[in-house]
């Protein structure tokens, strides 16, 4: 009888071990751009290459099929909605979203919000993207927005399990994709690991992007600028225009890691 119990217990432990092993944490990244600009195409291509090299499963939405990378589908609201309804991203997984393109201000309401134009001429709003994200359940998510007036997306979606990084306020333009490009370059540059713990945090990647973006203010204290309430830039700055990078829902940005360095 004891032998039977021990055998049953051993089998049960074995099954549980196999089950736990099979539930390996996965890293997913959705890259979105509906623009034909070479700048945006190149930025998506580079992000895709770096993320795949760092074991992320990437899904790309663009305005048409390209030789440079595999397209999940064209960038339309309907395609995005269908994708998030059918992709399996659960509490064991890590999620990243990179959205670049041309944003505008929706001034039809009292509160100005960001909108971004899709391939079919329709506009994606923060409320639309929030609805799509409700279909997935990652352990943590990092959302990076580099379009003009991206602060509207950052403020709306940087909450709960999501940390949102935006390159401008909801009332101002962004300048180029260089912040986003350098955010991903930090994955392959050990210098971004400021505390030398061989891991890249969201804050470290954002600080590296801030430091290497010529359109971000040349001031000291990247961490404070990224985490604290956004303020107008000092008049002593020589830049005639600038980005205003900001981490929204930033309490855990030091402890959310994008990768481990070898």
pLDDT at 75: 92
Please state the pTM of the whole predicted model: 0.85
Distance CA 32, CA 37 (A): 13
At 238 the pLDDT is 55
pLDDT band at 102 (very low <50, low <70, confident <90, very high): confident
Q: What is the pLDDT of residue 174?
A: 87
pLDDT at residue 228 is higher than 90: no
What is the share, in percent, of the chain residues with pLDDT greater than 90?
50
Higher pLDDT, 113 or 236: 113
* 73, 161, 184, 26 alpha-carbon torsion, rounded to 10°: -70
Structure confidence at residue 23 (pLDDT) = 47
Give the SS3 label for residue 53. Answer: helix
Residue 221 has pLDDT above 90, yes or no: no
Domain boundaries, the chain: 25-260
218 pLDDT tier (thresholds 50, 70, 90): low
| Comparison of pLDDT for 95 and 151, the residue scoring more | 95
Domain 25-260 belongs in CATH node 3.40.50: yes
Phi then psi for residue 238, to 5 deg, are -90, -10
Q: Is the pLDDT of residue 29 over 50?
A: yes
Q: Which two tokens stand for residue 252?
A: 């855990």
In 3-state terms, what secondary structure has residue 226? helix
Q: Average pLDDT, stretch 226-234?
A: 59
């Amino acid at each position: 009888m004891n032998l039977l119990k021990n055998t049953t217990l051993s089998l049960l432990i074995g099954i549980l071990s196999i089950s736990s092993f099979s539930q390996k944490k996965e890293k997913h990244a959705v890259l979105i751009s509906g623009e034909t600009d070479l700048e945006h195409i190149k930025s998506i291509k580079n992000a895709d290459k770096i993320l795949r090299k760092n074991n992320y499963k990437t899904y790309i939405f663009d305005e048409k099929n390209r030789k440079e990378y595999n397209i999940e589908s064209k960038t339309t609201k309907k395609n995005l909605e269908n994708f998030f309804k059918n992709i399996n991203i659960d509490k064991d997984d890590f999620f990243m979203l990179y959205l670049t393109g041309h944003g505008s201000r929706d001034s039809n309401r009292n509160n100005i919000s960001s909108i971004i134009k899709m391939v079919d001429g329709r506009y994606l709003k923060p409320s639309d993207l929030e609805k799509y994200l409700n279909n997935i359940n990652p352990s943590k998510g990092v959302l990076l927005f580099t379009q003009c007036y991206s602060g509207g997306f950052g403020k709306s979606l940087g909450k709960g399990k999501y940390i949102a990084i935006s390159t401008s306020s909801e009332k101002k333009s962004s300048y180029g994709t260089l912040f986003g490009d350098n955010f991903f370059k930090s994955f392959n540059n050990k210098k971004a690991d400021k505390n030398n713990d061989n891991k890249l945090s969201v804050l470290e990647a954002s600080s590296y992007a801030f430091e290497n973006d010529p359109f971000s203010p040349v001031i000291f204290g990247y961490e404070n600028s990224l985490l604290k309430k956004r303020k107008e830039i000092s008049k002593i700055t020589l830049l005639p225009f600038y980005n205003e990078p900001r981490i929204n829902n930033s309490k855990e940005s030091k402890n959310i890691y994008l990768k481990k360095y070898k």
